[in-house]
Structure 1
Amino acid sequence: MGTLEEQCMIDLIAVDDLLAGAAAPVGTTANLSWVVLGAVLTLLAAAGVWLIHESGQRSRVGGTALLCLSLAVLAFFTVGFALAMGGADGIYAGLGPLPGLGSEWMPRGEGWGLLGRQGFFLAGASYEAGVYALFLFQSLLVVMAVVIAVIPWLNRTPRLVPVLYTLLFAGLLYPAFANWVWGGGWLARLGQTRELGHGLVDFAGSGVVQAAGGLALLGALLALRRSPGEDVDMTAADVRALAGVALAAVGWMGCVAGSTYVMGNLPLAIAAANVLIAVISAGTVGLLYTWFVAGEPYLTVGAHACLAGLVAIAAGAPFFPAWAASVVGAVAGLLVPFGGYLLARLTGNMVTGSLVAVDGLGGIWGLLAVGLLANGRYGAGWNGIGEQSYLGVASLGITGIFPGLNLPADSGQLTAQIVGVGALFIFPVVTFLVVGGLSRLVAWWQGVRGLTMQHGRMAAEPTTEAESSDPPTSNDAGNRSALG
C-alpha cells in the first residue's frame, strides 16, 4: 500500500478522468434537468386547467377522472409514445442522442411521415436518459390534453364510454397529431415538401395539446348533447377559478421552460415574459368586457380569459415581440365571451361551451398568430429550414406576414399554420363518431343486461302472490259456499 500522498494522487487522477469523460454531455445533462423540471411543473398546469374547468360545474366523478388520467399515461407508455416520437432521433438536439427512436412510417416518401414505429413500452435501445426525459414531458402533456378533452363530460354518459375513449385518444389520436407536428411528421415538413415557411410551428402545444383537446371536447359534447346541470355555488367556483389561474400560470411557465430545451436553446426569458404579458392582457380584456356589458367584472370569465391567453401564447411564445404577445392575449380574452356564447348555443351548455372557446378557439388563434405576428428574430433552422439564411436574410427565424423591423414577410408560414388548423378537425369528427357510437352501444348493452337480470329475478321469485291473484275457480266457489 502506498503512502497517503500517493493514494490521494491516484484518487485525484481518477476524478479528473471521470470529469474529462463527463465533460462532453454537461450541456445535455443541464437540458435534461430543465426538461424534467418543466415536466413536473406541467402537471401543475394540468391541475390548474382542471380547477378552472370545474369552477363552472358540479361533478362527482373524481374516481372516474383519476382512472381516465391513469389509463391515458399507460396507453401513451405502451403504444402512444412510440407512435408520436418513434422517429424523433435527431430532432431534439438539446436532449442528446435518442436511440431506439429512429423509424418513421412515410407511406408517400421522405417528408410525409404519419406515425413513429419505435419505442413501444420504452423497450430495447430506448433505455436512455434523453428518451425517458422526452417521454416524461410528453406524457404529462397527454394528461393535460385528457383533462381538456374528457373530464368535462364524465357525468354525461356511462363510465365505460370515457374510459374506452381515453384509451383511443391517448393511444392513437393524440400521438398521431403529435407525430405530425413534433415527431418529424408531414405537418412539420411542409417547409421542405411544399416550401411553406418552417412547416407548422407549435412551440408549446397551442394546437397539439389545447386545440386538439378543445375540439375533441366539442365533438363529444355534440355527440352527448344534454341539458345543463345544477346551478353552481359561485363562492366555491370563484375560489377554484382563482386557484386554477395561479396553478395554470406557474405550470405553464414550466411547460415553456421545458420546451425551450426540448426544442432547442431558445430564449427562456423572452418566452416566459410573453406568457405573462399574454395572460394579463387576456384577463384584463375579459374582465373589462363583463364590466361593460353586465355592470361588474365576472371572475369566472376573467379566469377563463386568462387560461385562453395561456393557450394562445403557447404556440409562439419565443417568437413574438412584447406588443404582439399582448395582442395575442387580448384577442384570446375576447374569444371567451363571444366564442363561448356561440358554442353554448351549439352544445346546449354555457359552461362547456366556454371551455371549448378557451381551448379550441384559443389554440386555433395561437397557431394562426404565429403566421401573422412572428418577427423572425428566433427560430432559425426550425424543422431544418433556414439554418444559415432564409428569404435572403442571414439567420432569419420564424416569420409571419407582419414581422416588422424591415424584414420580409413570409406568407408561406401562415399557409402552413392554416393547414395545421385544418388537420386539427380530425379530432371533433372522430370523437363525435366514436363517443356517439360507444354511448349507443353501452346504452343498448345496459338495456339488454337489465332485461336479462329482470327476467332472472322474476324466474327466481315464488309464485304465491301470482297464484293468490288468480280468479277463483268453480271448485273454489263450491268449497267456499259449502263452508259458508
Structure 2
Amino acid sequence: MTPPVPARCLREGAGGRGKRADAHSGRRRDVRPIGVFLARGGGLLGTSVWKSGASIALALALVALSGGLAFAEGPDPTGAEAIKAKPELAVNFAWTLVAGFLVFFMQLGFALLGSGLIRSKNTVNYLTKSFLDFCMCALAFWAFGFALMFGGATGGDGSVLSSGLEAGNLLVGFSGFFLTGAAYDVSTVQLWFFQVVFAATAATIVAGMMAERTKITAYLAYSFLISALIYPIYGHWVWGGGWLSTLPFGAGAKDFAGSGVVHAIGGLVGLAGAALVGARIGKYNADGTPNRIPGHNIVYVAAGTLILFFGWFGFNTGSTLAATDLRISVIAVNTFLAGCAGAVAAVYYGLAKTGKADLPLACNGALAGLVGITAPCAYVAPWAAVVIGAIAPFVMLATNWLVERVLRIDDPVGAAGVHAGAGLWGLLAVGIFADGTYGDVAGLIVGQSGQIVAQLISIGTVLVWGLGTGFLLFGLLKATMGLRASREEELAGLDVPEHGTTAYPEGDGLSLAPARS
C-alpha cells in the first residue's frame, strides 16, 4: 500500500478520485497552491487557499467560522515556475481547458433541447433561464462553491490533497473563496474553470423540469444556491476527498465524470422543485390521468441532442485532467458506444410499442446512455459500455412512468428519467462492470463485491441529499418569494409577461412571405 503523501498526491481524474501515488518520492519539493497536481503523469486536480481581504460579509463570516486558514508559500499567477518544473503541464492545461470549452458548449444543447420540448409561448423564458443559469452559477461557484467543494480536501488516508492547504474535513472544504490570495494560481484557476462548467450543467437540468410555470426570479435564486451550496457540498464528498471517497469498501465511492455528482443531483433537486411548483394547467385530468402536452420544435430537440452528444466527449475524457493519461481513448470510445446503444435501444422500444421510430425518444435514449456511462466510463470495457448504454433508456422510461403516473409530478422534458434515473444507474454500473484495469476499481464482473457496497451507499446518499436539499430550497423559495407564475401568465405563456417579447413574432415563425411577381 502506498504510504501517505501529503501535498504530493495523485489521483486518476476529476471523477476517479482516490487512486494516489507519489511522483516526487525521495526529495522535498517547493510547496505551492497548485492543488492535487498531476494525474498519471500530469493532470491538475487540486484545491486552493483563500487569504483574507474579501469584501463580502458572508465570506468573512465563513472565514471566521473556519477557525483560520492555511497558507501556501505563494501563488504562481503566470505559470512560469510551474512550466519550468513540469513542461508537460502545457499540454495538460490545454487539454483540460479545451475539454471545459466543450462542456460549456453543452449549454447551447440544453437550451435547444429544452426549448424544443416545450410550447412556443414559453421559448424566450426557457432560453433566458438557460442563459442566466451559467451566469449565476459562475458567480456562485467563484464566490463559495469551489471553496466548499475542493478547499481543504483530504485523501483516503486523511492526508491533505493540495499543497499547503489544510482547511477542510471529510464533510466540507472551507478555503479558496473568491479565488483570491494564494488561490490566484494558474493551476487552481484551471481546475476552477473545468469544474464551474460541470456545476452549470447540474444547475441547468432543473430548467426543463420546472418549465412553463416557474417565476424567473425564483429560478435565478435557485441557480445561485444550488451552485453555491447544494452541488459543491455533495461534490466534496465524492471528488474533494470527502467521506464517500474514503469508504472502506472497494476503492471508495466512484463517479468518474458525474453520473451522480452532476446528473443525479440536478435531476433530484429538479424533481423536488417540480413537485412543489405543481403541474402545468391541463396536464392532469380530474381522475389523475395525465395528458400529453407536446413540444413545438423537433428540429431544436435533434440539434440540441447532437450538441450535447458532442460536448459529452469533453465531459468524460476531460475528467482525466491530463492528455498524458492515455485512458482517454477508452473513455471516448465508451462514451460514444453508450450513447449510440441508448439511442438504438430506445428506437426499437418505440417501434415495438407503437410501430413508429420516435425521434424525441431516440434523443432522450441517447442522452440516458450518455448519463449512464458518465460514472463508469474510465473503469469499464467497451462491451460493458454498450450494455450500460442499452439498459439506460429503460431505466429512464421506468423513472418517467413513476414520476408522471404514480407520483403525478409534471416533468415537461422527461429530465427525471434521463438525469436522475440514468444517473443512479451509472453509479450502480461502476460496482457491477468495473474490470479493475484502471484505478484499482473492480466490480462484480471480476468477482469483487466491495465496490458495489460503496456505490450503493453513494446512491442512497445522493437520493437523500438531492431530494432533501431540493425540497428545503424550493420550500423556502415558495414561502418567501413564490415559485409559480399567475394562472393568467401561464395560460398566455411566460414570454410576454416576464420578458416583454416572443420568440416567434411572425405567427410562430411559420408564416411564409407571399411570392413576388
Q: How high is the TM-score relative to the length of structure 2?
A: 0.70
8 Å CA contact retained: 2:351, 2:357 = yes
Return the offset for 1:73. 1.1
* The one of 378, 392, 402 aligned to 1:332: 392
Deviations 1:419-461 (A, max 9, x none): 11111121112212321332233249999xxxxxxxxxxxxxx
Shift of 1:31: 1.0
1:36 aligned partner:
97
Distance 1:50 1:187 in 2: 32
Deviations 1:201-232, CA, capped at 9 Å, x for gaps: 11111110011101111111111122357976
1:399 aligns to 2:437 (yes or no): no
CA shift at 1:38, angstroms? 0.5
Which whole-Å CA distance do the structure 1 matches of 2:483 and 2:427 have between them?
41
Asked if the contact 1:286/1:301 (under 8 Å) is kept, the reply is yes
Larger relative contact order (Cα-Cα within 8 Å, sequence gap ≥ 6):
2
Could you tell me how far 1:378 is from its partner in structure 2?
1.0
Q: CA deviation at 1:130?
A: 1.1
Return closer, same or farther for 1:445/1:328 CA change in 2, 3 Å cut-off.
closer
- Correspondent of 1:305 among 365, 374, 377: 365
Question: How does 1:104-115 map onto structure 2 within 5 Å?
Answer: 104-106=167-169, 113-115=170-172
Tell me what 2:186 maps to: 129
Give, in angstroms, the shift of residue 20 of structure 1.
12
Q: How far has the Cα of 1:183 moved from its partner?
A: 0.6
Task: Tell me what 1:239 maps to.
Answer: 299
What is the distance in 2 between the residues matched to 1:31 and 1:444?
43
Whole-angstrom distance in 1 between the partners of 2:168 and 2:152:
8
Contact 2:153 2:242 in 1 (8 A): no
- Cα deviation, residue 351, structure 1: 4.7
Q: Map 1:266-305 to 2 at 5 A.
A: 267-305=327-365
Inter-partner Cα distance in structure 1 for 2:374 and 2:136 = 26
What is the rounded CA distance, in whole Å, between the counterparts of 2:261 and 2:461 in structure 1?
11
CA RMSD in angstroms comes to: 2.8
Q: Residue 432 of structure 2 contacts residue 443 of structure 2 at CA under 8 Å; is this kept in 1? A: yes
- How far the C-alpha of 1:325 sits from its partner, in A, is 0.4
What's the counterpart of residue 251 of structure 1?
311
What one-letter code is carried by the residue in structure 1 that aligns with 2:389? G
2:479 counterpart of 1:440? yes
Q: Residue 171 of structure 1 corresponds to which residue in structure 2?
A: 228
Cα distance change on mapping 1:434 and 1:345 into 2, 3 Å: same
Kindly indicate whether the alpha-carbon contact (under 8 Å) linking 1:201 and 1:315 is maintained by their aligned counterparts in 2: yes
Name the SS for the 1:317 alignment partner.
Answer: coil
Q: Which amino acid counterpart does residue 25 of structure 1 have in structure 2?
A: K
Corresponding position: 1:52 with 2:105: no
Question: C-alpha distance in 1, partners of 2:484/2:412?
Answer: 28
Tell me which structure has the larger Cα radius of gyration: 1
Matches within 5 A, 1:151-162: 151-162=208-219
1:414 maps to: 452
- Equivalent residues of 2:252, 2:451 under 8 A apart: yes
CA distance in 1, matches of 2:371, 2:444: 22
Alignment check: 8 A CA contact 2:210 2:411 kept: no
Q: Give TM-score, length-normalised by structure 1.
A: 0.75
Looking at structure 1, the residues matched to 82 and 182 of structure 2 have their Cα atoms a distance apart, in angstroms, of 22
Give how far 1:272 is off.
Answer: 0.3
Paired with 2:393 and 2:344, the residues of 1 have a C-alpha distance of 8
Query: Do the aligned residues in 2 keep the contact of 1:316 with 1:370 (CA within 8 Å)?
Result: yes
In the alignment, the residues of structure 1 paired with residue 179 and residue 231 of structure 2 have an alpha-carbon distance, to the nearest angstrom, of 18
CA-to-aligned-CA distance 1:273-311 (integer Å, 9 cap, x gap): 011110111000101001110111100011001001110
Instruction: Give the Cα–Cα distance (whole angstroms) in 1 for the partners of residues 346 and 483 of structure 2.
Output: 44
Hey, what's the Cα distance between the residues in 2 that align with 1:246 and 1:323? 23
Look up the match of 2:131: 66
More displaced 10-residue stretch of structure 1: 346-355 or 362-371:
346-355
- Partner Cα separation in structure 2 for residue 105 and residue 21 of structure 1: 25
Confirm whether residue 226 of structure 1 aligns to residue 274 of structure 2. no
Report the counterpart of residue 202 of structure 1 in structure 2.
255
Q: Is the alpha carbon distance of 1:22 and 1:302 closer, same or farther for their aligned partners in structure 2, counting shifts above 3 Å?
A: closer
- In 1, Cα distance between equivalents of 2:474 and 2:318: 33
Q: Distance in 2 between matches of 1:345 and 1:177?
A: 30
The structural deviation recorded for 1:103 is 2.9
In 2, distance between residues paired with 1:179 and 1:427? 14
In 1, the alpha carbon distance for the partners of 2:455 and 2:319 equals 19
More helix by share: 1
Q: CA deviation at 1:21?
A: 9.3
Tell whether 2:427 aligns with 1:367.
Answer: yes
For residue 345 of structure 1, what is the aligned residue in structure 2? 405
Change (3 A) 1:21 1:442: closer
For the residue of structure 1 that corresponds to 2:243, the secondary structure is coil
Instruction: Determine if contact 1:204/1:315 at 8 Å carries over to the other structure.
Output: yes
Distance 1:43 1:228, change over 3 A: farther
Please state whether the residue corresponding to 1:319 is helix, strand or coil. Answer: coil
Residue deviations 1:66-114 (CA, integer Å, cap 9, x gap): 33331111011001100001124889xxxxx9557x23433xxxxxx11
CA distance in 1, matches of 2:142, 2:460: 28
The Cα offsets for residues 389-440 of structure 1, whole Å up to 9 and x where unpaired, read as xxxxxxxx2100112xxxxx22111011111111112111221232133223
Opposite residue 433 of structure 2, the aligned amino acid is L
8 A Cα contact 1:86 1:117, kept in partner: yes
Matched residue count: 391
Q: Could you tell me which residue of structure 2 aligns to residue 103 of structure 1? A: 166
> Relative to 1, partners in 2 of residues 1:289 and 1:64: Cα closer, same or farther, differing over 3 Å?
closer
Partner of 2:461: 423
1:325-363 C-alpha deviation (Å, 9 max, x unpaired): 011001102223332222112454665372100000010
Structure 1: runs of 5 or more not aligned = 1-18, 92-96, 107-112, 380-396, 404-408, 448-484
CA distance in 2, matches of 1:223, 1:205: 26
Distance in 2, matches of 1:413 and 1:90, equals 18
Judging changes above 3 Å, is the alpha-carbon distance between structure 1 residues 20 and 145 closer, same or farther for their aligned structure 2 residues? closer
1:115-146: CA deviation from partner (whole Å, max 9, x where unpaired): 11211000111111110110000000111111
Q: Match of 1:206, as an amino acid? A: S
The alpha-carbon distance between structure 1 residues 20 and 115, as it changes in their structure 2 partners (threshold 3 A), is closer
